[in-house]
A and B are shown apart, each in its own frame.
Chain A
Amino acid sequence: MALHDGKLRNSKVWLIGVLLIAGLLVPIFVQDSYLRHLFIISFVYGIVAASWDLSLGYAGIFNFAHVAFFGVGVYATGLTAKLLGIDPWAAMLIGGVAASAAAAIVALPVVRLQGVYVVLVTFAFSQLVMQLVINQSNLTGGTQGMVRVPTIWLPGYNFLRDYKLGYYYVALGLLVITTVCLRWLVRSDFGLSIRALRDNEDYAVSRGIPIAWQRLKALVASAFFTGLAGGFYVVYLRVASPEVFDFSTVSLILSMVLVGGTSSIYGPLFAALFLTFISEGLASINNFAEGRFMLVALAMIVVLLFFPKGLASALPAILAKNANQKRSRQPVTASADQALMTSTDKENEAEAASHSGVR
């Protein structure tokens, strides 16, 4: 249904194609296993961030349990692979399913609640999951974590001894699959209906959109990809530790979603790459541990100041430089102006005013 500017759309398709090929070629140029590791981690975060945007951005559910879904994926995969000896490939799927199941449980209270109360319940839920993980320490290793999770394998190929080449392609594959599925979802009727619900709940119900059911589906779907990513994360790192539930993890991934732009799938993906590499790039500077985080925080604020809708809104703007820009809905109000008015604005205004004066 989306009615895009044809040109804009073409250049977008092009760009995506180029990026995909670049993604496939990266390992050929990047031999360094550290860089490959960063790509892998940012792909995982990209999946988590993009799928979070399905519930947060598209459906407008203030879902703070998303990182807990990731954790559920991590532990479900880790436990089934390690304790039940299930093949890690299958265990990754189990991670996705388990995360979806967790999402369905959260959805029961969440669909009845309004706005920010959702924050509370989802937050409480993630704390509960963490408590559960920590106090079942016989199974999960508690705060110490669970080590020696078996990793994935293919006949005749050892993932551990190939400088992360195999992991890289698995991560990329997951990323592409997730992106394709998420894009398909948000452009489907279902995607339309959850955006409608977000825009105006009462009106949506009056047009026959079942609010609880759609929200449940949105949560379950977004949790599935996240759980899958969690599953991959644990078989890749071979350790599950409760830090995945940390507030710092939540704020890291949330920043990817918002810097990337809500209501966008690509935005959070690129933000994940961008933030991971920036922050790691700064990590190699000596005696700069705090400064590194301060710089990233500053960068985030600057991005939001110039692109309050996230980086995703910057991309089409650049692509469609010549095309007539669609105008933003924000009126230039008296309050925002002082803060945002540039000097040229003021000059123009003064000039125009003097014109009318002589008339």
Chain B
Amino acid sequence: MVEPNDDMPLLEMRQVTRRFGALLALDNVSFSVRKSEIFGIAGPNGSGKSTLFNVITGIPFPPSEGEILLAGKPIHRLPPHQISRAGILRTFQKDAEFATLSARENVYASAVYCGRMTSTEAKEAADHALDDVSLKAERRAKAASDLSVFERKQLMIASAIAGRPKVLLLDEPAAGLTKPEVTGLSDLIFTVHRRGITVVLIEHVLPLLLNVSERLMILNHGAIIASGSPAEVVRNPEVVEAYLGKREARL
């Protein structure tokens, strides 16, 4: 396989549409994410951000129309678990974990099934990933449901890293976190990024979003209303009107 170079789009959406009855949750969306960038997505509530992640991963539904390509290959017709194995891993806006499995098992499962590793490799990878997110060692044997909010975020990212993704899709990872935790999270995202993983980030917590994103795209009513460098985008009057509101714009 030819490794795509840095300029080549790693993840590409072509005229992607998703309908729910009469509602157009995604309206003819096209954009691409370059290899090794951190790509931010924002937009008002219900503008279709999570839906975008849903159709990319096929979990729980594929797009109604349009094409999605990973490194130039169409993936929108693959069964969802194949999409994950092809290298697109996501986190969920709602908490998602294997509640009865231990934290370590959570990560291990991802390494085995998504990263396609052998048992020994996977154990190592799991420990590595948990080290990366610095989940305390004594918490790793706890059932995932017993972890605290932040620990669950750590777990979520660790399990994603262990799956050896090419692209990591993060859906509002900072929701409900305290300031210091948000800072910790942005460090985490950089760590992931340094490993050569492309990150797509949906976030309403602006300090995080603006801090880490290299490029930013704003959705409204399922359509792209702005994209470019974060600094540019936040000055866009349409974005201020639809998303930021007056006060944040003043910042």
Contacts and interface: CB of A to CB of B under 8 A. Distances in A.
Direct contact of A and B (CB under 8 A): yes
Contact of B159 (A2, A3, A207): A207
A1 B81 contact: no
A265 to B, nearest CB: 16
Contacts, number: 88
B180 interface: no
Interface in B88-104: 89-90, 92, 96-102, 104
B122 to A, nearest CB: 8
Contact of B108 (A192, A202, A209): A192
Nearest to B108: A1
Interface stretch (B11-19, B27-35, B112-120): B112-120
For chain A, which range describes its interface: under 10, 10 to 19, 20 to 34, or 35 or more residues? 20 to 34
A208 B110 contact: yes
B213 interface: no
A329 interface: yes
A206 interface: yes
Given A1-B105, A207-B84, A199 B59 contact: no
A210 B84 CA distance: 10
Contacts of A199: 97-101
For chain B, which range describes its interface: under 10, 10 to 19, 20 to 34, or 35 or more residues? 35 or more
Contacts of B109: 189, 192-193, 196, 204, 207, 209
Contact of B81 (A2, A3, A208): A208
Interface in B40-98: 57, 59-60, 79-81, 84-85, 89-90, 92, 96-98
27 contacts: A1-B102, A1-B105, A1-B108, A189-B109, A189-B112, A192-B108, A193-B113, A196-B98, A196-B109, A205-B80, A205-B84, A206-B57, A206-B59, A206-B84, A207-B89, A207-B109, A207-B114, A207-B163, A208-B85, A208-B110, A208-B113, A208-B114, A209-B113, A210-B79, A210-B113, A329-B143, A329-B146
Given A189-B112, A193-B112, A208-B84, 15 more contacts: A1-B102, A1-B108, A3-B141, A189-B119, A192-B108, A195-B101, A199-B101, A200-B96, A200-B99, A203-B98, A206-B59, A207-B89, A207-B113, A208-B110, A208-B116
